[in-house]
A and B are shown apart, each in its own frame.
Chain A
Amino acid sequence: QITLKESGPTLVKPTQTLTLTCTLSGFSVINDGMGVGWIRQPPGKALEWLALIYWDDDKRYRPSLKSRLSITKDTSKNQVVLTMTNLDPVDTATYYCARRRGGTVATVFDYWGQGTLVTVSS
């Protein structure tokens, strides 16, 4: 059974750094063609893709946020970690990790975590 689960703080102060962990089960991020991404959704708004890490450690970031984001993987724990610096209240959102669907050259996401709501407030 394939599952992903996000963990991390629910409340972060402005200017602080957010670290979110996605724990994978039922698949490994080092399998050929595999990838894990982060997508966020501000309350009542649309989805916004943030970052993606591939099995070979290649990484992609949303250009507008690239300077603030870092994505890494811990293969021993089968986890993917997203770090976002210099948080602002506009970063308040539910943050999802999701698996990139294999078997296609396109990047779509076939399994998602339940999401974790992060509020940025002093």
Chain B
Amino acid sequence: DTQMTQSPSSVSASVGDRVTITCRASEGISTWLAWYQQKPGKAPNLLIYSTSRLQSGVPSRFSGSGSGTEFTLTISSLQPDDFATYYCQQANSFPWTFGQGTKVELK
């Protein structure tokens, strides 16, 4: 299985901050990476797929980059609605696997 490792596990930030989350794959996954946002008690919400493609309806302050084994999710200016846990998911090879999550908390 392809292992996905996210860093940091948590980040404290303020509204307006730029936040970057990293996801590393244990083997190359080309650009087959997705990001999800999950709020407490809710289902995950797809933000980005194929590394950098924004899902319909997702604000443009979210962006993704990377290829191979290292990927980033960037929130350019953190908004109150963005405090949540973020997961990466590799879609390159079966079985599809998720990272352990990064919690974005209020500083």
Contacts and interface: CB of A to CB of B under 8 A. Distances in A.
Nearest to B1: A63
B84 interface: no
Interface size class of B (residues with CB under 8 A): 20 to 34
Interface of A: 46-49, 60, 62-63, 96, 98, 101, 104, 106-110, 112-115
Nearest to B87: A47
A41 to B, nearest CB: 9
A83 B77 CA distance: 43
B49 A101 contact: yes
B100 to A, nearest CB: 5
B10 interface: no
B44 interface: yes
The 8 closest A-B pairs by CB, nearest first: A106-B91, A112-B43, A108-B34, A47-B98, A108-B49, A46-B100, A49-B96, A106-B32
Contacts of B43: 96, 98, 112-115
Contacts of A110: 46, 55
Given A108-B91, A109-B44, 4 more contacts: A60-B95, A108-B89, A109-B46, A115-B43
